[in-house]
Amino acid sequence: MISRRDCLKTLPAGLGLALAWGPAQAGGQIEEPLADSVRNVLSSAIANSAPPVPEFTDVQGRLAYLRWLGAMSRRLAKRKTEWLERKEFLQTVWYESRRAGLDTGLVLGLIQVESNFRKFAVSSVGARGYMQVMPFWTRVIGDGDAGKLFHMQTNLRFGCVILRHYIDRERGDLFMALGRYNGSRGKPPYPNAVFAASKNWDFNDPPPVESSPDPGKPPDKAPSGPG
């Protein structure tokens, strides 16, 4: 199994900077026959259209999410200048990537390479939207309406589910799965571009700062032992 971290270590020096905000390099997934069981699983994953509202079981989880949201918003500000648009987009990416069991930074890197964060991007082979989903997917696992791929949540839902499917098919090998997503399986340019771009979206949440003791409070007495 090849992880994103392992692939990043093999990138040539400077490639991340060279690809940081370069032109989109969209390709197109290739239609492959799917077993009925696989098609049903993918269709079920697509069907739930509940709005992406993050839910948290504790305050710390919510605060960690808000710190991530603030950091990503600052990085994305040049591409999406309106705060509400950035917030909705990042919230949806966070929700859909986690729903599919994907690394959020990897998904943002893929979006950067595929569409350069353009909602209505269309490639030369007809791939659409942020994650450049090929229209045949709406026929294979959706309702057949390719126009919905320009809807933000629908596009991100399809893209994340498809990428998860390819990762599973490649037994966790991200390099091969990304190549399959782009229609260039086994060739390094596209996976390397995504891994490089994903560096822009890494987020290391600092540990919570422990409160310092009150200087005016006397230190606790050590418990006395048996006399």
The residues spanned by each domain of the chain are: 4-11+38-44+59-201
Q: What is the pLDDT of residue 52?
A: 86
For the segment 98-106, the average pLDDT, to the nearest whole number, is: 96
For the segment 205-219, the average pLDDT, to the nearest whole number, is: 60
C-alpha distances out from residue 110 to 5, 24, 154, 159, Å: 15, 10, 16, 10
For the segment 191-219, the average pLDDT, to the nearest whole number, is: 78
Our CA dihedral for 202, 112, 91, 8, rounded to 10 degrees, sits at -20
- Distance separating alpha carbons of residues 159 and 141, to the nearest angstrom: 12
Q: What is the pLDDT of residue 11?
A: 41
CB 192 within 8 A of CB 15: yes
The DSSP-derived string for 49-80 is --------SSHHHHHHHHHHHHHHHHHHTTT-
Which pLDDT band holds residue 12 (cuts at 50, 70, 90)? very low
Most confident of 20-24, 27-31, 45-49, 110-114: 110-114
Q: Is pLDDT larger for residue 32 or for residue 137? A: 137
Q: What is the pLDDT of residue 20?
A: 40
Whether the predicted pLDDT of 156 surpasses 80: yes
> For domain 4-11+38-44+59-201, which CATH number applies: 2.60.120, 1.20.140, 1.10.530, 1.10.10?
1.10.530
Looking at 110-114, 123-127, 161-165, which range is the least confident one?
123-127
Closest C-alpha to 178, from 122, 123, 132, 142: 132
Q: What is the pLDDT of residue 158?
A: 95
How many other C-beta atoms are found inside a 10 Å radius of the C-beta of residue 118?
15
- Distance separating alpha carbons of residues 224 and 23, to the nearest angstrom: 70
Q: What is the pLDDT of residue 80?
A: 97
Share of the chain above pLDDT 70, in %: 79
